[in-house]
Structures are given as C-alpha cells and as structure tokens.
Amino acid sequence: MSEEKKKRHYYYGKKEKKAGEAMKEAEPYSKILNIVPYAQGFHFCTASGKSTGVTALGLGDFAEKLKTIDVNSIDFHFRCGDFQKWIRDVLGDDELAERISQIKEDLCGQELRMELLETVNSRIVHLKTFH
C-alpha cells in the first residue's frame, strides 16, 4: 500500500490538475449527483483500516450505504473527517461537506447514522428540486 493511502482512511482517486491551474469552483449541482468511477468511490473501512468491501459511487449511493454499513465504520470515518473530504474533493459539494462538519462531534452510533442520513438526504432533495 502506498504511503499516501496509509495516511488516508478513505481511498479515492484524486482529480488531475494541470500545473498553474486555479482552484476550480464547486462542481455544477448536476455533477454533484453523478456516479463516480470505482477508484474515486468512498471505500468504507474499519478503524483498523481493513476494507469492509462496501463502496459508494455517488451521493445517492452513499446515502443508501449509510443505512446499512456497520456503525463502527461510520463513527471512524466521521471522526477522521473522511466523509467531508470525499464529498468536497470528489463530488465537489462544499456546502454538504460543511453541513456534515457542523454535526455534533459527540454523536456516535445510530444517532450519528441518523443525523448523517438526514443531512445527506436533505441535500439530495434540494439538489434534485432546485437545480
């Protein structure tokens, strides 16, 4: 495993940027809901870094996976900020990443799962309705 992957608790491919390219604005809303290639998906793992074998390939898929993935994986990734990083860096949704960052840090287990689901599903409805 590369040193970079050892440092991250989630694995996704980075977007390519040309030298000198300015930071891109957030992706258009329609792109936030797109499916991403497997390599850029959110690969859930356990606290020990072992893969659960579950990968989310987009925001809707992420919401579906949150319903059933082991809560220990949810707790782990939330504490590390992995959900926010993937949503911001891969899906291009700074707003949702910020909303997740605002979730109380002391939530865990089922309460955290439910708060994440409410936050993500609310964003999906907003994106589908208004954009």
The residue extents of the domains of the chain are 34-130
In angstroms, the CA 110 to CA 116 distance is: 10
Q: What is the pLDDT of residue 130?
A: 73
Residue 101 pLDDT greater than 70, yes or no: yes
Structure tokens at 80: 């590390």
Residue 40 pLDDT greater than 50, yes or no: yes
Share of the chain above pLDDT 70, in %: 77
In angstroms, the CA 120 to CA 22 distance is: 28
